[in-house]
Chain A
Amino acid sequence: MMIAASNSAAPSTWVEKLAAPLKAALQHPWVESIVRLSAVEDTLRSLHPMLSLTEVRAQVVRIVDETADTKTFVLQPNALWHGRHGEHGPRAGQFVQLRLEINGRRVERIYSLSSRPGARLLAVTVKRQAGGLVSPHLHEHLKVGDVITIGQADGDFTLPTLLPAKMLLLSAGSGITPVMSMLRDLKARNYQGDVVFMHVCRNPAEFIFAKELLSTANRFPALSLLLHFDDSVGRFTPDSLQSAVPDLGERATWMCGPSGFMDAVEGHWATNNLTAPLKSERFVAIPMLPTTSPGTPVTVMLALSGEQFVTSGNAPLLEQAEKAGLSPKHGCRIGICRSCQCTKKSGTVENLQTGELSSMPNEQIRLCISVARTDLSLDL
């Protein structure tokens, strides 16, 4: 999963222009008391799964096996998708949010687009994460014809309109997806400069997009393809990068891969005072229940009010917030009424009644029976 923040502009398709006032009217409190928006949406969905006033939905039209544990899902979006054309369409390197319901629970993950911007269809390439929740589900259950909900393309890991003369696209593992999209874009834009595409993975069997990359290398003169297979030439280091790409300091670089890989490259940039721009997209795994012991001070960010406070993680969040001079809504204070419920955007909390730790993003928690076990961000 990648995290990047950007505020994309709000363009609209013609369908959106029609749907938006309808949606606004349906959300008017008086109208809502006659017919709920959710009822309208359900009815539309039962007419056709792609019909919606509020959601970008996309139908799976093709599933491509890339490697043993990687699949590309080719999706046909509905008309609320922000255009294939023009500046508001998706840009190479951006991601989309996929929303699924797994065993009754709504889950959201973001995946880089691997398709070329402007393409009629979009594609995400997903590596199956052992022990993960979403990627195995996608691999096992998503079939051609299924309809899922997606977000608009977002993220600022993108190519500029004016392309530099020398570029490096650097990726490791499944980090290849956004830079692959960039390469497809370069090709479509008939890039005349000099681009090095370097990809690192364990062995040829794990090389995602191998066929396409190799054939592109043959036919696209601007591209030099460099491959690093750890199993045959040893672990990748910044030195191996430096020796493979001697003019590293002159190349504007876009990089995506696991954290360790990117830390190493960024370190190399810093120690050698390389001045060429280095842009990267981070893979941030969903925090897997870190165990901060009770009493460790943590920071609670309130995203809506912009306030924050520090708590020792001993007493319930409601109490701690009140001690910090805030006054969140509450009722029973013993976990029954849910007046104190709010969305936890990120972080880990412990439920004092069940002792359960949970790190799910965008989860509903009750402040009166939750204690912070990591830094938190709450929608308050």
Chain B
Amino acid sequence: MSFAKPTHLTRQQVDDFEREVDAIRASVMNDLGQSDVDHIRRMIRICRASEVGGRALLHFGVGPLSWVAGVLALANAKILDNMEIGHNVMHGQYDWTGDPALNSQKFEWDIACDGEQWRHSHNVTHHTYTNILGKDRDLGYSLLRMTDAQKWKPRHWLQPMANLMLAAGFQYGVGSHDLEIGKYTHGAISKPEFKARLNRFLTKTAKQWFKDYLLFPALALWSAPRVLAGNFCANLIRNLWTYVVIFCGHFTDGVAIYREEDTRNETRGDWYLRQLSGSSNLEGGRVFHILTGHLSHQIEHHLFPDMPAHRYLEVAPKIRLLCVKYGLLYNTGSLYSQYKTVMKRILTHTLPPKNATTSPA
């Protein structure tokens, strides 16, 4: 694996590219209005109805069929809440509405990750330093080796297992992400600071467990096991789904990885190029896009993180045309084909490098 050269384009071309991307952004941002608010509110209503329906089926249903339906409805609610609503609202996509229920800095979601910590690990760290090795902590989530540039250690033999565990417990992976345990063990974070972060993470997790594994089962009386198992499965489904979508957005074949020194003094055009080359898309229908929180348009999301996500659909063809014009890769494919390349990458990097003496890059 080699690092991406910042670009093959001339300075002039990068500047032109920047202007064209800016213009695409402006055309949408100047057009925001009622239909955008209506969209997100409709999603919130569907999510709520799905949660109420799912919980009702789990609590009051009889038989395995109603249990399965309940799990699916609750999983659907959790997926919508995480992806299309929480992720997007917390990016500030609806701050312009002035509605406190849609305010990025106040929103809290139904997942073990504390909103405030996510805003830091995701909005600040990941979106600013996308795919910069050593800075973007989403690269392998400090758990997986995703590139030759990361040093191979014996623990990486267990990588396929670790990958599976990360997938199943993805919310805890995301939730503990901002703890920066590695940094703490190296002494880069003070003990009180680490404790405060740990406390936040544990409190949020406790709230989630209280709700899903204590309160709602207890309310169901003799149906408690049915409800507990249902809530567990709904969380599991959501975890697996979000994991797949997010891994397909950044770890597919052809996604570029950068060195810190290559990204110094980036212009906005350079930044756009890094976001573009660091992301990959998924193809599918309208419902599929919504269930991914439109992270199926990861490329557009990384270019315009605060644009209401349902607008990525109309922006995507324009970005694609720009890619053709400037000779850039627009990395897209079906979920299946994209995830295949992710798996291949995880498995290849499980093995120690063939020539262990070559230094990265």
Contact = CB atoms under 8 A, between A and B. Distances in A.
A270 B16 CA distance: 62
B84 interface: no
Contact of A104 (B33, B48, B103): B33
Contacts of A363: 98
A362 B98 CA distance: 8
Interface string B237-263: 000000000000000000000000000
A240 interface: no
Interface in B93-129: 95-101, 103-105, 108, 110, 119-120, 123-124, 127-128
Given A33-B207, A38-B101, A338 B92 contact: yes
B96 A30 contact: no
B36 interface: yes
B32 A336 contact: no
Contacts of A39: 48
A119 B88 CA distance: 46
A363 B97 CA distance: 9
Contacts of B91: 338
B98 A337 contact: no
B119 A332 contact: no
B95 A332 contact: no
B274 to A, nearest CB: 12
B34 A103 contact: yes
A341 B157 CA distance: 44
Contacts of B32: 104
Give the residue among B91, B98, B108, B127 with the most A Cβ atoms within 10 A: B98
Contact of A332 (B34, B97, B104, B127): B127
A107 B96 CA distance: 11
B95 A364 contact: yes
A48 interface: no
A30 B207 contact: yes
Contact of A337 (B128, B208, B271): B128
Nearest to A41: B101
Interface string A7-43: 0000000000000000000000110111010110010
A62 B207 CA distance: 48
A267 interface: no
Nearest to B203: A29
A337 B124 contact: yes
A34 B97 contact: no
Interface in A324-380: 331-332, 334, 336-339, 341, 353-354, 362-364
Contact of A33 (B97, B108, B123): B108
Contact of B37 (A30, A36, A38, A104): A104
Nearest to A107: B98
A105 interface: yes
B215 to A, nearest CB: 7
A104 B31 CA distance: 11
A338 B120 contact: no
Interface in B18-37: 26, 29, 32-37
Contacts of A33: 108, 110, 204, 207-208, 211
Interface string B286-310: 0000000000000000000110000
A341 B101 contact: no
27 contacts: A33-B204, A34-B215, A42-B48, A101-B37, A103-B34, A104-B32, A104-B34, A104-B35, A104-B36, A105-B98, A331-B120, A331-B123, A331-B128, A332-B123, A332-B128, A334-B128, A336-B128, A337-B119, A337-B123, A338-B92, A338-B105, A338-B119, A339-B120, A339-B123, A341-B95, A354-B29, A364-B95
Given A105-B97, A364-B92, 4 more contacts: A38-B101, A331-B123, A336-B306, A354-B26
What are the 5 tightest A-B residue pairs by CB atom distance, in nearest-first order?
A106-B98, A331-B124, A38-B101, A104-B37, A337-B123
Interface of A: 29-30, 32-34, 36, 38-39, 42, 101, 103-107, 331-332, 334, 336-339, 341, 353-354, 362-364
